[in-house]
Structure 1
Amino acid sequence: MSLHAARAVAPTPLDLTDLTDLTRRVAAEVLAGEHEVHVDPENRWYRRLVGDDYVDVWLISWAREKAAELHDHAGSLGALTVVSGELLEQRWVAGTPGRPAGLRERTLRAGRGATFPLGHVHEVVNTSDTPAISVHAYSPPLTVMSYYAVEQGPAEQGSRLRRTRSELTRGEPEPLPIVSPSLSGATTA
């Protein structure tokens, strides 16, 4: 089977390089003033710029301490490019001989980015006083995300992930947490 044929049977015709190129191109458009950006000091602000059968592209602004908690992108590949400011990414890295599993940090500065292969679990936060703006692309379009907690395992194995919930995205780059009325003690009318 040729590489071209193998790509055609993947969950998307786009790969991580395509998504990176797309986020960089849209980031350049944002810098050129082609897309309006709003920074909300209380919540992450976002707008979908592209949404079709193959890809979703999101423009997101992050005020100080705004975060996307530890999550994956289910069956979607992804990429992001930071337009301005900087974001701290903590990503899950599986253990290897001599290096236990756990979270690893990297700072993503303006003009830089990251890719999200299948199974990529990460948390993103703006720890700077300066707002950050980023462009994200997901293919196939993001429909569900799972969220995780890190639990400490035996010292030689490091930490491990525990999935805490999965949620439909409902047309958002990261949904707000949904609390079951039976868990929160709330009643429904």
Structure 2
Amino acid sequence: MTSRSARAAGPAPLTLPDLRRLTRRIAEEVRGGVHEVCVDEQRRWYQLLQTDGYVDVWLISWARQQAAELHDHGGSLGALTVVRGALTEHRWVPARATLGTRSLCAGASVGFPLGHVHDVTNTAAEPAVSVHAYSPPLTAMSYYRVEPRGLLRRTRSELTRQPEKVAT
């Protein structure tokens, strides 16, 4: 079977570069006013912008101190682009058995391979807005905690059709 024949059978899930390009394109639409954004000070707001059997695209707003719990994306690849504001990502670094931190400012775009464990937080006073894409669409997520001596422990797994839950 040739790759052309495989494509004729239907599209495959998107790659990390595809997901990053998609989130950057949708972020431009958001900046251009194509998609309405709401900021809810009480709970993180999100809106599904696109869905099919291969990718889901979510628009998410983050008021100050809103966060997603430490999690993975199950069997999905993911990407995000920050539209405005800034987000802080804490991601598990297995080689160091610790969480690494990176700041994601407006325009930043990052991809999440399989097994990527992270949380995302808005620590700034200004609300942040981001576009997230998952391929294949999210169906399950696992949640984690870091225990003493650098052990990453899964605390639960859940079936889902929504982006990361709000940390409690």
**Aligned 1:44-63 pairs, distance under 5 A:** 44-63=44-63
Q: 2: CA distance between counterparts of 1:174 and 1:124?
A: 9
> 1:112 aligned to 2:108?
yes
Q: 1: CA distance between counterparts of 2:130 and 2:67?
A: 12
Q: 2: CA distance between counterparts of 1:111 and 1:175?
A: 23
3-state SS of the aligned residue for 1:67? coil
For structure 1, the residue ranges without an aligned partner over 5 or more in a row are 154-158, 178-189
Aligned match of 1:152: 148
Choose which of 165, 168, 186 in structure 1 pairs with 2:159. Answer: 168
Residues 43-88 of structure 1, C-alpha deviations (whole Å, 9 max, x = no match):
1000000011000000000000000010000000000000000000
Choose which of 120, 123, 137 in structure 2 pairs with 1:124. Answer: 120
Q: 2: CA distance between counterparts of 1:73 and 1:93?
A: 16
What is the Cα deviation at residue 172 of structure 1? Answer: 1.6
Amino acid at match of 2:20: T
What is the Cα deviation at residue 112 of structure 1? Answer: 0.3
Higher RCO, 1 vs 2 (CA within 8 Å, ≥6 residues apart): 2
Residues 98-135 of structure 1, C-alpha deviations (whole Å, 9 max, x = no match):
xx321000000000021100000001000000000000
Q: 2: CA distance between counterparts of 1:139 and 1:75?
A: 9
3-state SS of the aligned residue for 1:40? coil
> 1:133 aligned to 2:124?
no
Q: 1: CA distance between counterparts of 2:129 and 2:103?
A: 14
Aligned match of 1:66: 66
CA contact (8 A) 2:44 2:166 kept: no
Aligned match of 2:29: 29
TM-score, normalisation: structure 2:
0.91
Amino acid at match of 2:152: L
What is the Cα deviation at residue 175 of structure 1? Answer: 3.9
Aligned residues: 163
3-state SS of the aligned residue for 1:65? coil
Which range moves more in the overlay, 83-92 or 160-169?
Answer: 160-169
Q: 1: CA distance between counterparts of 2:46 and 2:40?
A: 10
Q: 1: CA distance between counterparts of 2:41 and 2:109?
A: 23
RMSD of aligned Cα (Å): 2.0
Q: 1: CA distance between counterparts of 2:128 and 2:158?
A: 25
Task: Give 4+ residue runs of structure 1 displaced > 6 Å after superposition.
Answer: none
Distance verdict in 2 for CA 1:60–1:176, change over 3 Å: closer
CA contact (8 A) 2:71 2:118 kept: yes
Amino acid at match of 1:173: P
**Aligned 1:67-82 pairs, distance under 5 A:** 67-82=67-82
Q: Name the % identity.
A: 63
3-state SS of the aligned residue for 1:118? coil
Amino acid at match of 2:162: E
What is the Cα deviation at residue 176 of structure 1? Answer: 5.9
